[in-house]
Amino acid sequence: QGSTQKYIVKNYFYYYLFKFSAALGEEIFYITFLPFTYWNIDHSVSRRMIIVWSIVMYIGQVSKDILKWPRPLSPPVVKLEMRTNAEYGMPSTHAMAATAISFSFFIATTNQYKYPFELGLVAAFVFSTLVCLSRLYTGMHTVLDVIGGALISAVLLVLLYPAWDTIDHLLLTSPFCPLLSVAVPLVLCYNYPKLDYYSPTRGDTTTILGAAAGATVGFWLNNQYAAPAYTSKSFQPGFPLVTSTMVFVLARFFVGILVVLLTRWVMKSVVLGALGYRYKFPIRDLEARRRLEVEVPYKFVTYSSVGFTATVIVPLLHELLGLM
What positions carry a catalytic annotation? 94, 141
Query: Residue type for 241, please?
Result: L
Q: How far is CA 140 from CA 4, 126, 244, 271, in A?
A: 12, 20, 43, 32
d(CA 92, CA 69): 11
Q: Can you say whether the dihedral through the CA atoms of 104, 89, 2, 21 is positive or negative? A: negative
Residue 10 CA to residue 26 CA, distance in Å, equals 25
Instruction: Label residues 81-90 b or e (16+ Cβ within 10 Å = b).
Output: eeebbebbbb
The number of CA neighbours under 13 Å toward the Cβ of 55 is 21
